[in-house]
Amino acid sequence: MPHDHDDHDHHHGHGDGQEPPSDTALRVKALESLLVEKGLVDPAALDAIVDHFEHKVGPRNGARVVARAWTDPAYKARLMQDATSAIAELGYSGGQGEHMVVVENTPQVHNLVVCTLCSCYPWPVLGLPPVWYKSSPYRSRAVIDPRGVIAEFGTELTEDIEVRVWDSTAEIRYLVLPERPAGTEGMGEDALAALVTRDGMIGTARL
Partner 1 sequence: MNGVHDMGGMQGLGRIEPEPEGHAFHAVWEGRVHAMSLASPTRSNIDAGRHQRELIPGPEYLGMSYYEKWFRSLSDRLVEQGLVTPAELAGGALQTGAPKATPRLLAADVEPALNRRGSYVRETAAPAQFKPGDAVRARNIHPEGHTRLPRYVRGRSGVILRMNGAHVFPDSNAHGRGEDPRPLYTVRFTARELWGAAANPHDSVSLDLWEPYLERG
Residues 142-161 that bind partner 1 (CB under 8 A): 142-144, 146-147, 149, 152-153, 159-161
Q: How far is the CB of 131 from partner 1 (least distance, A)?
A: 6
What secondary structure, in 3-state letters, does the chain show? Answer: CCCCCCHHHCCCCCCCCCCCCCHHHHHHHHHHHHHHHCCCCCHHHHHHHHHHHHHHCCHHHHHHHHHHHHHCHHHHHHHHHCHHHHHHHCCCCCCCCCEEEEEECCCCEEEEEECCCCCCCCHHHHCCCCHHHHCHHHHHHHHHCHHHHHHHCCCCCCCCCEEEEEECCCCEEEEEECCCCCCCCCCCHHHHHCCCCHHHHHCCCCC
Answer yes or no: 119 catalytic: yes
Per-residue x/- marks for partner 1, 48-77, CB under 8 A?
A: xxx-xxx-x-xx------------------
Answer yes or no: 120 catalytic: yes
Q: Compute CA distances 202 → 130, 131, 186, whole Å.
A: 11, 13, 26
Contact 198, 126 (CB under 8 A): yes
Q: How far is the CB of 186 from partner 1 (least distance, A)?
A: 26
* Closer residue to partner 1 in complex, CB, 75/153: 153
Answer yes or no: 136 catalytic: no
Query: Is residue 172 a contact point for partner 1 (CB under 8 A)?
Result: yes
Q: How far is the CB of 98 from partner 1 (least distance, A)?
A: 5
Answer yes or no: 118 catalytic: yes
Q: How far is the CB of 5 from partner 1 (least distance, A)?
A: 18
Tell which one of 4, 9, 11, 33 touches partner 1 (CB under 8 A): 33
Residues 75-94 that bind partner 1 (CB under 8 A): 84, 88, 93-94
Residues 109-148 that bind partner 1 (CB under 8 A): 114, 116-119, 124, 127-128, 130-132, 134-144, 146-147
Tell me the catalytic residues.
Answer: 115, 118-120
